[in-house]
Structures are given as structure tokens and as C-alpha cells.
Amino acid sequence: MGADLKATFSLPSFYDHFSEEDGITNDELKLEFGKAIADFVS
């Protein structure tokens, strides 16, 4: 009766790794985010 957790993602040090113009600026975190989104929609 619990939630069906599809994916998790946490962006550490938000202001260091995100900009309005470029989105996630750290390539490793951007890849991890992409994988989490893919898991979520599958």
C-alpha cells in the first residue's frame, strides 16, 4: 500500500551546479539527472 518510487535525484549545492541559462552545469550530475528522468518515464 506504499508508493511506487520510480526514481530519485538530488542536486547538491544548487547555486554551484545550476544556472538559468544552462540548467545543470556539472556534466556528471546532468547525466545522473537524465537517467533519473528516463527511469521515471519508463
Q: Which three cell numbers stand for residue 21?
A: 541559462
- pTM of the model as a whole: 0.80
pLDDT score at 4: 87
* Predicted local confidence at residue 22, as pLDDT: 96
The DSSP call for residue 12 is S
Residue 2: what pLDDT?
A: 85
How far apart, in whole angstroms, are the C-alpha atoms of residue 23 and residue 3?
Answer: 29
Digit-coded pLDDT (tens) for 17-30? 999 999 999 999 99
33 versus 6: which is more confidently predicted? Answer: 33
Domain boundaries of the chain, sorted by first residue: 9-42
Cα–Cα distance, 37 to 23 (Å, whole number) = 15
Work out the angle at residue 40's Cα, subtended by the Cα atoms of residues 33 and 4, and round it to the nearest 5 degrees.
130
Q: What's the pLDDT score for residue 21?
A: 97
